[in-house]
Amino acid sequence: MSISIIKPGILDTIQDSGRPGYADWGINPGGPMDTYAATLANLLAGSEKNAAVVEVHFPAPQILFRKQSLIALTGGDFQPTLNDIPLPLCQPVVVKENTILHFPSYRSGARCYLAIEGGFATDKWLGSRTTNLNAGATGLTGRKLAKNDELSCGPGKKLSANLRAETDAAILPWRADTANCYNNVHEISCVPGNEWGLLDWESKKCWEETNFIIHPSSDRMGYQLKNEPLKMSNKFQMVSTGVSFGTIQLLPNGQLVVLMADHQTTGGYPRIAHVVSAHLPKLAQLRPSDCIKFGMVKMEEAEKLYQSQIHDLNLLQESCMTRLNEYLCR
Amino acid sequence: MRYLATMTIYSLGDAAVVMDLGNSIDQSLNQQVNAMKVWVRDHPFDGLRDAVSAYSSLTLHYDPLVVQQHYQPKQTISSWVQSYLTKVYDESLTMETDKEETVVIPVCYEEEFSPDLATVAETTGLTTEDVIEIHLAGLYHIYMIGFLPGFPYMGKLDPRIAVPRKSSPRMVTAGSVAITGLQTGIYPIGSPGGWQIIGSTPVRLFDPGAEIPALLRPGQKVKFSRIEKNDYVNFDH
C-alpha cells in the first residue's frame, strides 16, 4: 500500500476525470470540483493528467506515506506539513516512507488536491474511480475516505525510484505558476443562459452591478447564492432539460444556484447564465460567505479562455516531464 | 424536412448545446428525442462526452478542445455542435425506431407501503381503491431518467389522481412508487423526496454492481401490477 488514512478530513474523495456517458441512467459525471488543480497536481507528480487524485476539504485528513513517493499538492492552501516540515503547493515533493502529511490550519481556497506518481489505483465503477456519494456504489467509488483506508498507486513511470529522499521531504526546485488561472478570484465570467432574456430590467441590473454571496448550504452539488431576489418579466414554465457544471438556475424564491461537479443530470429551473469553463476552477476554490461578481462574455471569448487554459496546462505538462527527466540525470 | 415551429437550439454554456423540440411533456416529441439520441450514439463526433435526453430535449456535452482540434470550426465551437444537432434532427426523421418493450413492475399498495395514499384519496375525492385502480390502469411512457440514479419520470398520469407534491420533502425509502401532477415515478434508492407515495415495489431499480445498473431506460413503457404484502416480502430477486 502507498498511503493510509490516519485521520479522515471532513470530505476526502477520490476523483479522476469523471464518469461521463451515463446520464441515461441518472448517473452524473462528477469529477474534481477544480479540474485545473487536479490536472496540475498530476502533471507535477509525473502522472497522467487524468489520474486519480485525492480531493480534500478543510478540516483535512492526516495521511501516512508507507513508501517513498513523488507527490504534489495543489488548489486550496491548508498549510500542509510533512512530519512538521512545511510543504509548498504546486511543487513536486519526494516524501520518505513512514512520513505523515498533515494540514494544520486553513489559509485560502476550498479544495486541495493530492496527486501521487502513478495515480491512486482504487477500484473503478463504470470506467471511473471518481467517488459518487449517492449512487450506492461499493468501496471508494461510493463513499468518502475513512480512518485506516489504505490506497495503492499505479505503476507510473517510477521516477521516484531514482529520486532518493535524503530528508523526510525533498522539495524539487521548480514550481508551477497558477496566477493565470486564479487571478481576480471573485470575478466569474459567464455566457448567457437560454432564459437570460426573461429577467426583468432591475434583475439584470442587480446581476451586473452587485455581488452574490455563497450560502453555507453550498456543497459539491451546487452553490446556493444570496442576493436581492431576481424576477422574470413573464411567468415562464419549463420542463426539465439537461444541465451542466456551471449552469446558473433561478429558483422560485428568486435566488440563484450554480450547479457544481456533483449536479443532477437534469433540471427544470430557468437558466440565467453558465459559468465559462475556464472560470470553474476559480469558482471551485470559493467558499461559503465568499462573494462573487458575475460578468457576461461572448461565446468566442469563453472558448478562447478555455483553450488558453488548456494550452497552459499542455505547456506545463511538457516542462514538468523535462524537469523531472533532467533532475533524474543530473 | 419537417421543422417544428416550437423547435429551438441553444448553447448550455461553452461545453454543451441543447435542441428542444417544444418545451412540453409530449410522448411523440419524446420519441423523436430518443430517436435523435440513438442516431448520435451511432454517429458520435470526436469530443462528444454524453447525450442526455429529457422530456422534449436532447443535450450534448462535449470537450471543446477536442472538437476544435478535429473539426477546426470557422465560427465558434458551440455553433459547430449546434449545426451537428440540426443534422441529427434531419437524420432522425427518417429513422425506423424499435418498438420499446413494456416492463411490468409489481407494486404493493397496502397501508404500510403507501403513506400518502389516504391523502391522495382525500385530495381527489376518490376512495383509496379508486386511486389504486386508476394508477394500475395506465400504460406509462418513460420520458427520462434523472433526479436520482435510475429514477424514471413517467406519464401521463390520469388527471383524476393528479395531486401537488408535498409542501416539504421527507426521507423516502427505496422502491417507493410515487405520483405528482401528471407524473408517476419510482425512488430507486432512499432519498429525500416530495412526491406522494402510494405504494412500493420489491423490484430493484438500481443496482450499482450490475453490468447495466439501471433497470429502466428512457422510451420504455411501464405497466404496474398489484401484489399482496406476502408476495412483496417473498419477492425473488
Chain B CB within 8 Å of residue A197 CB: no
Domains and CATH numbers, chain B: 8-93 (3.30.1360.40), 102-233 (2.40.100.10)
Strand partners, A212: A292
Per the listing, cell 416480502 goes with B233
The residue to which cell 513517493 is assigned: A69
Residue corresponding to grid cell 440565467: A272
Give the position of cell 495503492. Answer: A152
For residues A107 and A17, membership in a common domain is answered with yes
**Same domain, residue pair A199 and A140:** no
Q: Does B149 contact A194 at a Cβ distance shorter than 8 Å? A: no
Write the ipTM: 0.95
Q: Which residues of B touch A240 (CB under 8 A)?
A: 54-55, 144, 146, 153
What is the pLDDT confidence band of residue A157, given thresholds at 50, 70 and 90?
Answer: low
The predicted pLDDT at position A161 comes to 64
Contact A239 B148 (CB under 8 A): no
Q: Are residues A69 and A168 in the same domain?
A: yes
pLDDT of residue A327: 80
What average pLDDT does range A33-48 have in this prediction?
Answer: 97
Report the residue from A240, A244, A299 with minimal CB separation from B146. A240
What's the CA gap between A153 and A238, in Å, rounded?
A: 46
Given a cut of 90, is residue A162 above it in pLDDT? no
Residues A18 and A76 in one domain: yes
Minimum Cα–Cα distance from B26: chain A residue: A239
Residue B52 and residue B58 in contact, taking contact as beta carbons nearer than 8 Å: yes
- The string of pLDDT tens digits covering residues B84-118 is 999 999 998 888 777 788 999 999 999 999 999 99
Residue in A26, A238, A306 closest to B23 by CB: A238
Measured from the Cβ of residue A232, the count of other Cβ atoms closer than 10 Å reads 16
At B1 the pLDDT is 43
Taking the CA of residue B3 and the nearest CA in chain A, the distance in Å comes to: 20
Domain boundary among the residues A152, A177, A202 is at A177
Contacts of B234 (CB under 8 A, 6+ apart): none
What's residue B6's pLDDT?
Answer: 81
Task: For A314, list phi and psi in degrees, rounded to 5.
Answer: -65, -40
Q: Is position A325 within any domain?
A: no
Is A20–B189 a contact, with Cβ atoms under 8 angstroms apart? no
**Of B96-100, B139-143, B197-201, which range is least confident?**
B96-100
Q: Are residues A160 and A260 in the same domain?
A: no
Predicted pLDDT of residue A235: 77
Tell me: do A195 and A52 sit in the same domain: no
CA distances from B36 to A249, B11, B20, B42 (A): 26, 17, 11, 10
Q: What is the pLDDT of residue A155?
A: 82
What's A205's domain CATH number? 2.40.100.10
The kind and range of the H/E element at A78 are: none
CA–CA separation, A323 and A89 (whole Å):
17
3-state secondary structure of A241: strand
User: What is d(CA A147, CA B96) in angstroms, rounded to the nearest whole number?
Assistant: 54
Using the structure block, give the residue that is written with the C-alpha cell 505558476: A177
Q: Give the model confidence (pLDDT) of A12-37 as tens digits.
A: 999 999 999 998 899 999 999 999 99
> What interhelical angle do B64-71 and B77-93 show, nearest 10?
80
| DSSP-derived 3-state class of residue B1 | coil
Residue A247 belongs to some domain of the structure? yes
Burial state string for A56-74 with b = 16 or more CB within 10 A and e = fewer than 16: bbbebbbbbbeebbbbbbb
Rg for chain A (alpha carbons), in Å? Answer: 20
A246 within a domain of the structure (yes/no): yes
Inter-chain touch A24–B23, beta carbons under 8 Å: no
Yes or no, beta carbons of A242 and B148 under 8 Å apart: no
Residue A228 to chain B, least CA–CA distance (Å): 24
- Cβ-based contacts under 8 A for chains A and B: 152
- Kindly report the nearest CA distance between residue A233 and chain B, in angstroms: 19
Which chain B residue has the Cα nearest residue A190? B13
**Contact: A194, B49; criterion CB under 8 Å:** no
Shortest Cα distance, chain A CAs vs residue B82, angstroms: 13
Domains in chain A, number? 2
Are A148 and A202 contained in the same domain? no
Side-chain half-sphere exposure of A114, counting CA atoms within 13 A: 30
Establish if A47 belongs to a structural domain: yes
Same domain, yes or no, for A43 and A73? yes
Residue A96 shares a structural domain with residue A202 = no
Residues 207-266 on A with a CB inside 8 Å of B are 238-244, 246-247, 264-266
Is A136 part of the contact surface with chain B (CB cutoff 8 Å)? yes
Distance from CA of B60 to the nearest CA of A (A): 9
Q: Do A164 and A31 lie in a common domain?
A: yes
* Euclidean distance between CA atoms A56 and A154, whole angstroms: 20
Asked if residue A159 has pLDDT above 80, the reply is no
Nearest C-alpha neighbor of A113 from the set A70, A54, A59: A54
Domain assignment of residue A308, yes or no? no
Out of A26, A134, A246, closest to residue B214 by CB: A26
Range of the domain at A237: 187-297
Inspect the interface and report whether the beta carbons of A26 and B65 lie closer than 8 Å: no
pLDDT exceeds cutoff 60 at A189? yes
How many angstroms away from the CA of B219 is the closest CA of chain A? Answer: 11
Residues A192 and A173 in one domain: no
β-pairing verdict for A291-296 and A187-192: parallel
For residue A319, give the nearest of A176, A184, A207, A198 by alpha carbon: A176
What is the dihedral sign for C-alpha A195, A197, A203, A204? Answer: positive
DSSP state of A242: E
- Which residues in chain B have their CB less than 8 angstroms from residue A296's CB? none
Q: Are A254 and A172 members of one domain?
A: no
Q: What is the average per-residue pLDDT within B211-216? A: 93
**Residue A244 Cα, gap to closest chain B Cα (Å):** 7
Q: Mutation target for A interface from B14, B41, B141: give the one with most A CBs within 10 A.
A: B14
Across the interface, of B50, B53, B146, the residue whose CB is closest to A29 is B50
